[in-house]
Amino acid sequence: MAEHHSESLYMKIFYYLLALTILEILVALPTYATWVKAILLIGMALGKASLVAMFFMHLRFERLTLGVIAFTPLVICVFLVFMLAPDLGAIAHKTTVPVKQTTGVKH
Amino acid sequence: MSETAGMHAGHVEAYESPLTPESWGKLGMWVFLVGDAMSFGTLLAGYGAIRYGSADWPKPYDVLGIWLTAGMTLLLIVSSVWMVKGLAAIQRNDYAAFRKFIGLTILGGAVFLGCQAYEWNKLIFHEDLGFTGNPYGASLFGTTFFIITGFHGMHVTGGVIYLLCILLRGMSGAYSANNYSPVEIAGLYWHFVDLVWIMVFTFVYLI
């Protein structure tokens, strides 16, 4: 919309994004169980993405229908993951860990 | 008929963009971005599927490291802030600030690409992460990594070129407080590239 947004709002959003990024790295560093990390990290990433879309891309100030359209890909992709899930379960069940020489992992 | 008299006005109304009345271009960009989001979403869903189905997927932070990319994430977020400041500047006819902030945004994108080139170079030539194989585990680890970060890098490259055009047109006085829509539309693209990187950083590097 034509209204101009205050720059202090943008800086506030920036600090939120910065804080969430630091939080993400803190969660990623220690060796939590992968699923715990996955839930926390995906949650924070969606939060960051929403902040960017709502405020930097002004979706917050646009018509609701545009927001709904913009939100659609996320819904479809989550649906896609669930559609793939039965296949994935089958694969994960059948895949055996290949016995191989572990070459020294760097770092 | 009176309808005929009112037709011209009705005609103009009918050709107003339905969701973004101030600009058709903005609606066009949103439609493109929604499609583009599907591309990235599908890539990431496919990545998740392959990774979940793999028994020997390497731990990304062991191979990729996260500090450089954490810096790159920060850089894109900062460049998004510069972008909104550039838009705010042209909305109040402040040409000097417009040039400064759009220039900084472009610089941010270019530095991001430089970091990515450095990272790819390091991974390919010094750490043997190939497109079809690597010493760390599943060969698709490298394939998915290069496809997803490469696809995003192409978007950043496109964004840098796009914003360079906006900067050059802006410097020749094409935009003003009454005509800033092209800047806003370019901004939408740039923020989207930032948004996608937030997701890529999470899925490919952190988890």
Q: Do A28 and B61 touch (CB under 8 A)?
A: yes
CB < 8 Å to B141, chain A: none
Q: Are A54 and B110 in contact (CB under 8 A)?
A: no
**Residue B93, pLDDT score:** 93
What pTM was computed for the model? 0.86
The string of pLDDT tens digits covering residues B100-135 is 999 999 999 999 999 999 999 999 999 988 888 888
Helices (H) and strands (E) in chain B, counts: 7, 0
The CATH number assigned to the domain with range B22-206 reads: 1.20.120.80
Q: Do A21 and B73 touch (CB under 8 A)?
A: yes
Domain boundaries, chain B: 22-206
A37: nearest Cα among A18, A57, A23:
A23
What is the distance between the alpha carbons of residues B113 and B104, in angstroms, rounded to a whole number?
14
Kindly state the DSSP code that residue B29 receives in the 8-state scheme: H
What is the distance between the alpha carbons of residues B73 and B12, in angstroms, rounded to a whole number?
44
CB < 8 Å to B56, chain A: 97-98, 100
* SS3 at position A77: helix
Q: Are B163 and B106 in contact (CB under 8 A)?
A: yes
Q: Are B198 and A18 in contact (CB under 8 A)?
A: no
Query: Which of residues A31 and B129 earns the better pLDDT score?
Result: B129
Domain boundaries, chain A: 7-91
- CB-based contact (8 Å) between B177 and chain A? no
Nearest CA distance, B120 vs chain A (angstrom): 16
The string of pLDDT tens digits covering residues A61-85 is 888 888 899 899 999 988 888 888 7
| Strand ranges (E), chain A | none
Residue type for position B3: E
- CB-based contact (8 Å) between A4 and chain B? yes
Q: Which of A7, A34, A45 sits opposite B85 (nearest CB)?
A: A7
Tens-binned pLDDT, residue by residue, of chain B (207 aa): 444 444 444 444 457 778 888 788 899 999 999 999 999 999 999 898 888 888 888 988 888 888 899 999 999 999 999 999 999 999 999 999 999 999 999 999 999 999 999 999 999 999 988 888 888 888 899 999 999 999 999 999 999 999 999 999 999 999 999 999 999 999 999 999 999 999 999 999 998
Q: Which of A2, A4, A96 sits opposite B88 (nearest CB)?
A: A4
What the block records as the tokens of B145 is 């990594």
Q: Are B83 and B187 in contact (CB under 8 A)?
A: yes
Q: Do A41 and B187 touch (CB under 8 A)?
A: no
Query: ipTM score of the complex?
Result: 0.84
Decide if pLDDT at A46 tops 50: yes
Q: Do A107 and B65 touch (CB under 8 A)?
A: yes
Find the mean pLDDT for residues A26-41.
Answer: 85
Nearest CA distance, A55 vs chain B (angstrom): 10
What is the distance between the alpha carbons of residues B193 and A76, in angstroms, rounded to a whole number?
20
Decide if pLDDT at A86 tops 50: yes
